[in-house]
């Protein structure tokens, strides 16, 4: 185990607090994005078009996107919405696209205070992967904090 000099203790504590704060903000934004639309109003909409795309760059897993574009009306005002959902499998992205073909009726969830913000609630077959990665990352971060605490306060 490496001992930290007295001069390094404030820097290590600052870095630990900064890491904890930034991780907390990321977790907060993730939870907010996942659950914010739960209380939004609903309107009937229609799918305008769909498409898929992919990106694979060296060093990253290939990511396939299902793009969905829709229209809906709130109090007589027409709005358009769009979303791109990332998947690790082209087959999964294609399955989503096949479910939401053009002219398919959909339930659109919109922000009542800003009706131009909308989303579709799509069951993402890969959501459990994101949750597992989030939990593992959080456990890794907590382990790092504990290790740093032992180094500082040993």
Residues composing the chain:
154
Of the candidates 11, 12, 28, the residue with the CA atom closest to the CA atom of residue 151? 12
Residue 1's pLDDT is what? 47
Q: Dig out the tokens for 32 from the structure.
A: 């907010």
Sheet holding 77-87, edge to edge: 77-87, 63-74, 41-55, 105-111, 114-119
- 10-43: per-residue pLDDT in tens? 776 777 777 777 777 777 776 666 666 677 899 9
Q: Dig out the tokens for 150 from the structure.
A: 């032992």
Residue 34's pLDDT is what? 62
The Cα-based distances of 140 to 44, 133, 146 in angstroms read: 43, 10, 10
Q: Dig out the tokens for 26 from the structure.
A: 């990321």
- 82-130: per-residue pLDDT in tens? 998 888 778 888 888 898 999 999 999 998 989 999 988 765 545 555 6
Contact 81, 69 (CB under 8 A): yes
């Amino acid at each position: 185990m490496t001992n930290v000099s007295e001069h390094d203790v404030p820097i290590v504590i600052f870095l630990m607090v900064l890491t904890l704060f930034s991780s907390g903000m990321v977790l907060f934004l993730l939870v907010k994005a996942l659950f914010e639309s739960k209380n939004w109003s609903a309107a009937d909409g229609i799918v305008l078009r769909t498409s898929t795309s992919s990106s694979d760059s060296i060093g990253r897993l290939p990511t396939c996107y299902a793009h969905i574009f829709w229209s809906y009306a709130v109090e007589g005002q027409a709005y358009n919405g769009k979303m791109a959902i990332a998947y690790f499998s082209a087959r999964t992205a294609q399955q989503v696209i096949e479910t939401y073909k053009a002219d398919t009726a959909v339930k659109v969830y919109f922000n009542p205070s800003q009706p131009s913000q909308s989303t579709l609630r799509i069951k993402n077959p890969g959501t459990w992967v994101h949750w597992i990665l989030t939990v593992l990352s959080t456990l890794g971060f907590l382990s790092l904090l504990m290790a740093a605490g032992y180094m500082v306060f040993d």
